[in-house]
Structure 1
């Protein structure tokens, strides 16, 4: 190596060492093991609470059917009462219904779990926003389920078939009946939380195939919840709107938290990593 090249290399190394908070081999914020364990624990506790409250919600069948009739009337007024018509196109095709069942069962919680693990290890800041959005939308969902219980199309007098229950047993393994409120249809968090995973992937990576896969999973879930008679079209729309609002609010909270932790010129300290909630 020539003397000029050696001097240039040493100069670059000295500049990189002098820059605050940067090192030649570190380009991504790291997470300590205790914080990762704490975040995983809080998310697990929140999900457990979500299912526990849903299961303990004592929604009367009469009110749930009455509220379902109100949803159906609203759909007729908006010309969105598509559920029986679209299911009739696929219900007699076993291969299609089997695919829909797999999407409904394995395209939700397994996808959420894998996405959160990926975020924790690669994109902790995006994880913080995602976890906050899930907590916000889940809290709103719990209130809605208690105040406005809605029987899904499969339990209403629409003549629709519950393909998931009739053709698959895996769903009851992943989500036992004791933790399920069958009248928690409005809004659809099945749709909402899958949309949150898509927004997360779009925010965290520019890898084309990951972004396309994330969008495809959300679109397929939006279709599946209706074709399997588990949600009304309005349920899916409400879940999508709730997810997007929660994602926006979580982002604003993250910005405010970042500003609060930004160091001043006097203290010269490194800023704390932006955290929306202590997850």
Structure 2
């Protein structure tokens, strides 16, 4: 009876320490990601030129419909507000809440999705450095409108222009990371409403990044591809025996 009663006392502090340690890792990674992203030297003329390349590619593929879609949405103020809220509050609050849920309830899955986020973030930084792209909101000549800034300053306060690289539209990890969390929630949720949220969340975020003129459609596909590739690698690494990973 004594031994049995001591076990929870020993495990509880250890579990709390693990959670605190992981939260510190995530917080450090987030700060480092945006710090490095903000420090990446970007030639603005190249970023605008690359953005024109993206527009040209989309036109060739017949998918450069962002300005037309945004004009359609602009006629519905309530929809513009909802898209802005999804873009702002559907990102970091959802990411951090989902990661915490995974950490507490699904430890093995947490490691996989955490590693996928870290890996996709690293890959994203490489792309930002090699292929800077100006976001659609800077191209008013095409009819783009920065609806997020027009309706609220919250997002620009949370991520001030001086702190982040404004010319890092490709890839959109704003969408890619939400896609990762959506997969986690949809696959591990125990109630149909939770799983439905997991399915809808990435779809709504994709719509939000495009219709608020923060990303091109191309950016979303690039961010989703990098996120899924990183998730595949993270799964492969998780399946390797511990001894094999130590040998590397």
Task: Tell me the TM-score normalized by structure 2.
Answer: 0.89
Q: Which structure: greater helix fraction?
A: 2
Q: Provide the rounded CA distance (Å) in 2 between the counterparts of 1:249 and 1:207.
A: 28
Residue 68 of structure 2 corresponds to which residue in structure 1? 85
Shift in Å, 1:121: 1.1
Q: Secondary structure of 2:162's partner?
A: helix
Mapping 1:48-87, distance limit 5 Å: 48-87=31-70
Residue 121 of structure 1 corresponds to which residue in structure 2? 104
Mapping 1:1-279, distance limit 5 Å: 32-156=15-139, 157-256=141-240, 259-260=241-242
Deviation by residue 1:201-251 (Cα, 9 ceiling, x = unmatched): 133234211110111111110011111001010100111111111111100
Residue 22 of structure 1 corresponds to which residue in structure 2? none
Q: Provide the rounded CA distance (Å) in 2 between the counterparts of 1:179 and 1:125.
A: 33
Paired residues, what number? 234
Contact 2:67 2:142 in 1 (8 A): yes
**RMSD of aligned Cα (Å):** 1.9
Deviation by residue 1:49-99 (Cα, 9 ceiling, x = unmatched): 111112112212111000001111111111110111110101132111111
Q: Which runs of 5+ in 1 are unaligned?
A: 1-25, 263-273, 275-279
Contact 1:191 1:239 in 2 (8 A): yes
Tell which structure's C-alpha radius of gyration is larger. Answer: 1
Q: Provide the rounded CA distance (Å) in 2 between the counterparts of 1:261 and 1:143.
A: 30
Q: Which runs of 5+ in 2 are unaligned?
A: 1-7
Task: Report the more deviating stretch, 126-135 or 31-40.
Answer: 31-40
Shift in Å, 1:36: 1.7
Runs of 4+ with deviation above 4 angstroms: none
Q: Provide the rounded CA distance (Å) in 2 between the counterparts of 1:241 and 1:56.
A: 25
Q: Provide the rounded CA distance (Å) in 1 between the counterparts of 2:17 and 2:243.
A: 21
Shift in Å, 1:261: 5.8
Task: Tell me the TM-score normalized by structure 1.
Answer: 0.80
Q: 1:261 to 1:124 in 2, by over 3 A?
A: farther
Contact 1:126 1:203 in 2 (8 A): no
Q: Provide the rounded CA distance (Å) in 2 between the counterparts of 1:229 and 1:180.
A: 17
